[in-house]
Amino acid sequence: MARVGLVVVSHSRPLAEAAVALAQQMLPGRDVPIEVAAGTEDGGLGTDAVAISAAITAADAGDGVVVLMDLGSAVLSAETALELIEDDLRDRVVLSAAPLVEGLIGAAVVAGGGADRDRVAAEALLGLAPKQAHLG
């Protein structure tokens, strides 16, 4: 069974932690490594490529990592973080274009079920589908 790690990148630490709390609700008794890299060192709004690279490294248990992020510098910092990690780990990381909250919840549920990295990443991208189907 694969154990895919997740990383949440946001400008805001409270936003990231709340998104993780929402996802954890869907994971009773399941162990999915979810790391947060969010906010500036002084508690302000911003992203930090070095912190993201550390979070990716911490979240990897050998089966790779899917990174969910909010907007703007979160995307650029996540791409920069890929340049700061080891080559073999980089090949196991997917930066997801999914919306942060919906993507994270979808990814967490299938990761908790032992899906592999490609399946977790695909599920994240489908995160908007239930909302779109409901609203028509």
Q: In the complex, which residues of this chain contact another protein (CB under 8 A)?
A: 11, 40-41, 44-51, 72-73, 76-77, 79-80, 83-84
| Closest by CA position to 19, among listed 94, 78, 99, 104 | 104
Q: What is the Cα–Cα distance from 63 to 69, expressed in whole angstroms? A: 20
Q: Which residues pair with 92 in a beta bridge?
A: none
Catalytic residue among 7, 10, 11, 106: 11
Which amino acid, 13? Answer: R
| Closest CB 22 distance from another protein, rounded Å | 25
Q: Which residues pair with 38 in a beta bridge?
A: 10
| Closest CB 10 distance from another protein, rounded Å | 12
Q: How far is CA 39 from the centre of its chain?
A: 15
Nearer to another protein, 79 or 116 (CB): 79
| Closest CB 93 distance from another protein, rounded Å | 16
Token pair recorded at residue 121: 């990443």
11: annotated active-site residue:
yes
Nearer to another protein, 24 or 73 (CB): 73
Nearer to another protein, 39 or 103 (CB): 39
Q: What is the Cα–Cα distance from 54 to 64, expressed in whole angstroms? A: 14
Catalytic residue numbers read 11
